[in-house]
Chains A and B, each alone.
Chain A
Amino acid sequence: MALIAVDDLHVHLGESHVLQGVSFEVPEGGVTALLGRNGVGKTTTLRAMMGLVPRRGSVSLAGEELNRLPTHAIVRRGVGYVPEDREVFAGLTVEENLRLAERNGSPRYELVYELFPELKTRAGQKAGTLSGGQQQMVAIARALLNDNPVLLVDEPTKGLAPLLVTEVAAALERAAQLATVLLVEQNLAVVARVAQQVVVLDSGRVVHAGGANELLGDPDRIRELLGVHGGAH
């Protein structure tokens, strides 16, 4: 049974009908990658699932409808969110960014410091002075701090150096052992490493859903759906 079910999701941003009836399911456990060319609605899909943009349609988590809930209530149902472009609080320290994300009495600081030891040494540093990679660590750590059964992660490797991409991919693998991850990602090598399922969007609609290996093993299909050469394997 699917843990997350998105059904006929519509989003209008101004005059633009960005999501035009998006429907897909995310099975429990592992990583499902949400793929597509730039501007097809991947980020908007995650933002709509989080209640960050006005939306119509249905999003359910383990059978519970989320679409009428405000964002904070969706998060409290156990949905962690790592936004595109990190969105760390620049004026707060690393430690304050993490403390803000605490939701229960037992935040998993051991886990996040094990994954990102650098954050411990930079706990007192303002997040705005961190590098892009370090800010991404803060953003992922905030989502991992609580025992969220679901993580929505939006382009975590965007703009990162190759070494940091590997580090982030390793963190995603670890996160996938603890939660169900829905990942928006452009880097197909990362998708190949961490994802088991893929959902492909085009022009605000789902145009493909299936196993990650099937798609990534078919360069012609990748070129057709994503407009890139399949170099993941």
Chain B
Amino acid sequence: MSTFILLTITGVGLGAMYFLIASGLSLIYGLMGVLNFAHGSFLTVGAYAAWEASTHVGGGPGTKLVVATLAALAAGGLVAALVELLLIRPLYRRPIEQVLVTVGLALALGALVEAIWGFDARQFPVPSWLIDTTTIFGAHIPNDRFLEIATAAIVLVGLTAFLRYTRYGLIIRAGVENRAMVTALGIDVRKAFTLVFALGGLAAALAGVLSGVYFGTIDPSRGTSLLIFAFIVVVIGGFGSIGGTAVAAVVVGLIQQYANYYASSGLGDLAVVLLLAVVLLLKPEGLSPKVAH
């Protein structure tokens, strides 16, 4: 029983990270139709900005983590907004070129990170209280899992409130359905595009920090490896749906954990791909298609 609880909470924690990456990816595709292969780079940039900041500030591990997170958010949000303004915006209505640019950017940013910080993994500064465990029904759960789950829950609530209660949220929800009609109401939807990219960058950078906490290290390929699962989450959840993305992220995280433990180590990834195939066969539009909510 304690093993099952540990696997479940760890799976939800992993799902929380997937959600943070996938939510931005989902909104960007849902609103703009841009398949952003550079989204994992926002995570990597955020993670390394966090690591770099933590090496330059004094104070305890908790202070370092807070400063590192702020640096990650600033870097992730800024890079994402610049990518939209400088590279994606000139290529509206040219989807193939957009995809090629995001693929090229992912490779270029990965190479840049490797050139600056090297290929080897770096130890991420994790406060000891996050490494400690809390016992729940006999299961010793590392505290970082709760941080990951709580962070994703706050982002989910915040994003949902933003989409539901703000003018820009209304524009994004409408734009996911029919972008041309939003402009035909006199709205400059390009501002919403930049905002969505920046929000996606912020969430991905946050995932970068949390992945450092979860794995204890960061490396240049972290964004790319997590992006694959984020894409699967988005396809299962439905492009443009935050709620669907959240559910799909948790399901993918749990299936990975259960399959790795109860079947065979390494089968988790295969189980996720099988789940994707089943969803595509039975519900190709995803769990909650094309409505941002």
- A residues within 8 Å of B by Cβ? 50, 52, 70-73, 75-76, 81, 83, 87, 89-92, 96, 99-101, 103, 142, 146
Closest Cβ of chain B to A55, distance in Å, is: 14
Contact B178–A100 (Cβ < 8 Å)? no
Contact A81–B184 (Cβ < 8 Å)? yes
Q: When chains A and B are docked, how far (Å) is the Cα of A71 from the Cα of B183? A: 6
Does B293 reach chain A (CB closer than 8 Å)?
A: yes
Contacts A83-B184, A89-B174 known; 11 new A-B pairs at CB < 8 A? A52-B184, A71-B180, A72-B187, A75-B186, A87-B178, A87-B181, A89-B178, A91-B291, A91-B292, A101-B185, A101-B186
Closest Cβ of chain B to A105, distance in Å, is: 13
Closest residue on chain A to residue B181 by CB atoms: A87
Does B145 reach chain A (CB closer than 8 Å)?
A: no
Q: When chains A and B are docked, how far (Å) is the Cα of A69 from the Cα of B173? A: 25
Closest Cβ of chain B to A56, distance in Å, is: 17
The answer, among A50, A52, A83, A100, for a CB contact under 8 Å with B170, is A100
Does B259 reach chain A (CB closer than 8 Å)?
A: no
Does B177 reach chain A (CB closer than 8 Å)?
A: yes
Q: How many residues of B contact A (CB 8 A)?
A: 19
Closest residue on chain A to residue B186 by CB atoms: A75
Contact B174–A100 (Cβ < 8 Å)? yes
> Assuming A91-B173, A92-B170, is B183 touching A72 (CB within 8 A)?
yes
The answer, among A71, A81, A91, for a CB contact under 8 Å with B177, is A91
Closest Cβ of chain A to B92, distance in Å, is: 11
> Assuming A72-B189, A91-B291, A91-B293, is B174 touching A50 (CB within 8 A)?
no
Q: For chain B residues 98-113, which have a beta carbon within 8 Å of chain A?
A: none
Q: When chains A and B are docked, how far (Å) is the Cα of A100 from the Cα of B168? A: 10
Residues on the A chain within 8 Å of B188, using CB? 70, 72-73
Does B276 reach chain A (CB closer than 8 Å)?
A: no
- 16 inter-chain pairs at a CB distance below 8 angstroms, sorted by A residue, are A72-B185, A72-B189, A73-B188, A75-B184, A75-B185, A83-B184, A87-B178, A89-B173, A89-B178, A89-B181, A90-B177, A91-B177, A91-B291, A100-B171, A103-B186, A142-B185
Residues on the B chain within 8 Å of A50, using CB? 184
- B residues within 8 Å of A by Cβ? 170-171, 173-174, 177-178, 180-189, 291-293
Residues on the A chain within 8 Å of B183, using CB? 52, 70-72, 75
Residues on the A chain within 8 Å of B177, using CB? 89-92
Contact B170–A72 (Cβ < 8 Å)? no
Q: When chains A and B are docked, how far (Å) is the Cα of A89 from the Cα of B182? A: 9
Residues on the A chain within 8 Å of B187, using CB? 72, 100
Contact B185–A100 (Cβ < 8 Å)? yes
Q: When chains A and B are docked, how far (Å) is the Cα of A100 from the Cα of B171? A: 7
Of the listed residues A70, A96, A100, A142, the one surrounded by the most CB atoms of chain B closer than 10 A to its CB is: A100
Closest residue on chain A to residue B293 by CB atoms: A91
Residues on the B chain within 8 Å of A70, using CB? 183, 188
Q: When chains A and B are docked, how far (Å) is the Cα of A73 from the Cα of B183? A: 9
Contact A76–B170 (Cβ < 8 Å)? no
Closest 4 CB pairs of A and B: A75-B186, A91-B291, A71-B183, A89-B174
Q: When chains A and B are docked, how far (Å) is the Cα of A81 from the Cα of B184? A: 7
Contact A99–B170 (Cβ < 8 Å)? yes
Residues on the A chain within 8 Å of B291, using CB? 90-91
Q: When chains A and B are docked, how far (Å) is the Cα of A75 from the Cα of B184? A: 7
Q: When chains A and B are docked, how far (Å) is the Cα of A39 from the Cα of B219? A: 58
Contact B181–A83 (Cβ < 8 Å)? yes
Closest Cβ of chain B to A197, distance in Å, is: 24
Closest residue on chain B to residue A90 by CB atoms: B177
Q: When chains A and B are docked, how far (Å) is the Cα of A81 from the Cα of B170? A: 19
Closest residue on chain B to residue A54 by CB atoms: B93
Closest residue on chain B to residue A87 by CB atoms: B181
Contact A52–B185 (Cβ < 8 Å)? no
Q: When chains A and B are docked, how far (Å) is the Cα of A71 from the Cα of B66? A: 44
The answer, among B174, B180, B184, B189, for a CB contact under 8 Å with A92, is B174
Q: When chains A and B are docked, how far (Å) is the Cα of A89 from the Cα of B174? A: 6
Q: When chains A and B are docked, how far (Å) is the Cα of A125 from the Cα of B182? A: 20
Residues on the A chain within 8 Å of B182, using CB? 100
> Assuming A89-B177, A91-B293, is B170 touching A96 (CB within 8 A)?
yes
Closest Cβ of chain A to B151, distance in Å, is: 28
